[in-house]
Structure 1
Amino acid sequence: MANTVFCKKYQKELEALERAPFPGARGQEIITTVSKQAWQEWQTLQTMLINEKQLNMMMPESRKYIMEQMDKFFNNEPTDRVTGYVDPSDIIEL
């Protein structure tokens, strides 16, 4: 059976990440409070934000922005959205 963690995003026990995504305290916080599902969803949003906003992750301000958005995402606060993106679950089929 896979390890589980109480996910702060979904407020329930879910499958845990296999390893910390960052070194140090930040990585330890994520591995103990964020589920694999939430992390995968964050990775998708992160990629869209980086591409849409044409962020250069070598720039400190871009990294700071992404970390702020990540914190908001995992704490269920509103995050920036990608312009023109429509969630497939919002599409009504005729």
Structure 2
Amino acid sequence: MTRMVDCSKYKKPMPGLERPPFPGPKGLEIFETVSKDAWNEWQEHQTRLINEKQLTVTDPSARTYLMTQMTLFLTGQDYDAAEGYVPEED
């Protein structure tokens, strides 16, 4: 049976993640409040941010920036877009 969560991004019940995405309190919070779809969308957006802004994930300031953007994205708030990203047409 699929585990359901009240998704913080989409504000409705949706299938949740199978396990926390990373250890610690933030990982557990995401596991309990973020849908699988929202998490997958964040992963794609994070990759675009890293590539377009040429972030180095070992840099503490880049990690702080990504964590802030992740929180904004997953809670349905305004977040930074990747400037050079153009979505593919269906």
TM-score, with structure 1 as normaliser: 0.89
78-87 or 39-48, larger mean C-alpha shift: 78-87
- Aligned residue runs from structure 1 range 34-73, under 5 A: 34-73=34-73
The percent identity for this pair of structures is: 50
Q: Note the alpha carbon deviations across 1:21-66, whole angstroms, 9 max, x for none.
A: 1111111100000000000000000000001111111110000000
How many residues matched? 90
State the partner residue of 2:86: 86
Contact 2:48 2:85 in 1 (8 A): no
Structure 1 stretches of at least 4 aligned residues deviating more than 6 Å after TM superposition = none
State the partner residue of 2:9: 9
State the partner residue of 2:19: 19
73-82 or 35-44, larger mean C-alpha shift: 73-82
Larger-Rg structure? 1
In structure 2, stretches of 5+ residues that fail to align are none
